[in-house]
Amino acid sequence: MTKAKKLMPVIKWTGSKRSQAETIVSYFPENINTYYEPFLGGGSVMGIANFKKAVCGDICKPLIELWEEIKTRPNDVSKIYEGNWNKLQKIGYTYYYDVRDQFNKNGDPNKFLFLTRTCCNGLIRFNKNGEFNNSFHVTRKGINPKTLNKIIDEWSSRIQNVKFIIGDYRETTKTAKKGDLVYLDPPYFYNKDRYSSDLNYEEFLKFLEDLNKREIKYVLSFDGSRGDKNYNIEIPSNLYKRKFTIKAGNSSVNNVLNQKKEMVFESLYLNW
């Protein structure tokens, strides 16, 4: 496992673990065979962990298709972003909405990248029909293509050993076995509308039980507390061995929506 000093995000993702990725990785065991991350999102932990062999997935199809594009066609991804970015500067905000309409029709991962980089406050938001519905960020230009190009190249070389899977977390981890590590970062149960799918809490607990039976190590990031609110949904104590509290920085969702900063704490559960 090699660590990056400062790794800029290539895919900006709502609920990203970027601010605590280094801390989370410091709890990982040194020697593992395959690293599994079935709730991948923006992959901030995958990027820092950088294991030799990894299987990562997410239920969000254009997201995983974008990861695959960054892995296999980094130059094309950079060029397409540059083309879109230039058109945006020339045509203005209507271009953003054209791209959004097209993305909602064909799910093109490169259009998705452009939207994630130019949408309001970088919030990745889908409506009930699975359509991307955030608006354009009027006061920002979107990341400069030259800067993004370097970030894409850096990530592309780091993810050559990653197998990407579009699907449910159980599908992504079905080949895991003793000696592997599964890192889990499910959507907040109280905040599920911010993601493109729902997650059933009882089924998730059954999954943890199954990992224990299969003697597979897991590290689980879970609901924490924010300001004076405690969002902690407990994980039954028979399902894990150790629990740590991690300082996760300020809440970006709250910053954006309420203009106020609250310190966020998250729990980390380990089953060994």
Ligand X SMILES: C[S@@+](CC[C@H](N)C(=O)[O-])C[C@H]1O[C@@H](n2cnc3c(N)ncnc32)[C@H](O)[C@@H]1O
Q: How many residues does the chain have?
A: 272
Question: In terms of CB distance, is 44 or 50 closer to ligand X?
Answer: 44
Neighbours of 79 (CB within 10 A): 14
- At its nearest, how many Å lie between ligand X and the CB of residue 145? 22
CA 183/CA 37 separation, integer angstroms: 5
- At its nearest, how many Å lie between ligand X and the CB of residue 95? 26
Question: In terms of CB distance, is 180 or 266 closer to ligand X?
Answer: 266
- At its nearest, how many Å lie between ligand X and the CB of residue 91? 30
Stretch that binds ligand X, among 41-49, 113-121, 228-236, 246-254 (CB under 6 A): 41-49
Which residue is listed with tokens 């889990």? 184
User: Are 85 and 145 contacting, i.e. CB atoms less than 8 angstroms apart?
Assistant: yes
CA 143/CA 152 separation, integer angstroms: 12
Instruction: Please give the size of the binding site for ligand X, defined by CB under 6 A.
Output: 22
Q: Which residues face 36 on adjacent strands?
A: 55, 182
44 in contact with ligand X (CB under 6 A): yes
Neighbours of 229 (CB within 10 A): 11
The token pair at 52 is: 């030799």
116 in contact with ligand X (CB under 6 A): no
Stretch that binds ligand X, among 14-22, 81-89, 127-135, 139-147 (CB under 6 A): 14-22
Q: Which of 11, 6, 77, 4 is nearest to 41 (CA)?
A: 11
Q: Which of 9, 48, 252 is nearest to 147 (CA)?
A: 9
95 in contact with ligand X (CB under 6 A): no
Q: State which residue has the least CB distance to ligand X.
A: 41
SS3 assignment, position 72: helix
143 in contact with ligand X (CB under 6 A): no
204 in contact with ligand X (CB under 6 A): no
269 in contact with ligand X (CB under 6 A): no
Answer for which of 35, 39, 136, 155 binds ligand X (CB under 6 A) is 39
User: Are 221 and 248 contacting, i.e. CB atoms less than 8 angstroms apart?
Assistant: no
Which string of x and - marks every residue 51-80 that binds ligand X (by CB under 6 A)? -------xxx--------------------
Binding site for ligand X (CB under 6 A): 13, 15-17, 38-39, 41-42, 44-45, 58-60, 168-169, 185-187, 195-197, 199
